[in-house]
Amino acid sequence: MKRFIITFSTALLLLVSVSISAQDFQGQAIYQTKTTMDMSGFGGDQMSEQRKKQIADRMKSMLEKTYVLNFNRSESTYTEEEKLEAPGAGGGGRFGGMMSSFTGGAQYKNIKESLILQEQEFFGKQFLVKDSLPKLEWKLGSETKQIGQYTCFKATTTKPVDEMDFMSMRRRGRDDEKKEGEEKADTTKKESNDVFEDIEVPKFVIVTAWYTPQIPVSTGPGEYQGLPGLILEVTADKTVMLCTKIVMNPQNKESIDRPEKGEEVTRDEYNQIMKDKIAEMREMYGGRGGRGGGGRRN
């Protein structure tokens, strides 16, 4: 009798798993993301501590965010949860507009088509950045941990870093900020007349992900995908993405639509547009190394 119960239970679990995989289900996952950034040397000796604190407080809202992932078996949208701005925040002005261009807008992924689309607004102009999904060579481990009610398995990979990835930018020469594995990869070299001569971006970072086969979809937060289950946690360089809530087959399903608005460009083309605009602003406002002549200085 005991053997019958065990066999029946196993068959029932298998049936449920097959049923979930077969049906056109949809889910929603909420992720809290946080990026740590060293502000100790920001601005050098020319900036007051009060001004540094103001910038750090403004940066906090950009480095700690909540995202919503709506997904089905092959498609997903990943959007930042809208929140009211604190009184006196002022929207960040030119600084806030610049940072939002680095961090990106709503994102769409299609696993079957190996497609990723990212909405971007840059100085009032709308772009649609189109690329292939990154091919991540995951190493699956046997280590497990519990995230909420889900059993998750560990996976690691080494990921190339986009040269304009704001979350991985650091002041040049800060060897103490390098993490294990980064010393094996050279950092991006900049020419002396480059607009980013004071910062560098590692060419590669080690990524650790935790995924659950209990939700059989090959997607996760941001660009991450390609594992045999929903990714619930990601640690990449200085950024941690942690799933805090999951709703399967919500009563009010969100539409998962492919974005179409904006000038379509590749990631490389969009990066060049940003670099050209930043160089133009440095000339206009007379930044260090600028040749703006009569341009005013802030």
What is the DSSP code string of 27-59? EEEEEEEEE----TTTTGGGS-HHHHHHHHHHH
- State phi, psi for 245 to the nearest 5 degrees: -160, 140
Question: Does a structural domain hold residue 168?
Answer: yes
pLDDT averaged over the chain?
77
Residue 89 has pLDDT above 70, yes or no: no
Q: Is residue 118 part of a domain?
A: yes
Query: What's the number of domains the chain is made of?
Result: 1
User: pTM for this one?
Assistant: 0.74
- Asked if residue 155 lies in contact with residue 224, where contact means CB atoms within 8 angstroms, the answer is no
pLDDT digits (tens, 9 = 90+) for 18-31: 444 445 689 999 99
**DSSP-derived 3-state class of residue 241:** strand
Q: Is residue 82 part of a domain?
A: yes
- Of 261, 260, 265, 222, which is closest to residue 129 (Cα–Cα)? 265
Condensed to tens digits (0 to 9), the pLDDT of residues 256-278 reads 999 988 999 999 999 899 888 88
CA 51 to chain centre: 28
Residue 11 lies inside a defined structural domain of this protein: no
**Residue 237 resides in a domain:** yes
* pLDDT tier, 58 (very low <50, low <70, confident <90, very high otherwise): confident
Helical axes 49-63 vs 93-103, angle rounded to 10°: 40
Res 85: pLDDT: 58
Q: Are 159 and 147 in contact (CB under 8 A)?
A: no
Q: What whole-number distance in Å separates Cα of residue 76 and Cα of residue 78?
A: 7
pLDDT value, residue 184: 46
Question: pLDDT grade, residue 68 (50/70/90)?
Answer: very high
CA distance 236 to 281: 31
245 CB neighbour count, 10 Å cutoff:
11
Evaluate whether residue 128 is within a structural domain.
yes
Which residue segment(s) compose the domain that 45 sits in? 25-285
Q: Which of 100, 133, 96 is nearest to 119 (CA)?
A: 100
Cβ neighbours of residue 175 under 8 Å, at least 6 residues apart?
A: none
For helices 267-285 and 93-103, the axis angle rounded to 10 degrees is: 160
CB neighbours of residue 141 within 10 Å: 12
Amino acid at 32: Q
Residue 167 placed within a domain:
yes
Comparing C-alpha atoms, which of 217, 254, 225, 228 is closest to residue 241?
A: 225
What token pair was written down for 294? Answer: 């009569």
Domain annotation covers residue 297: no
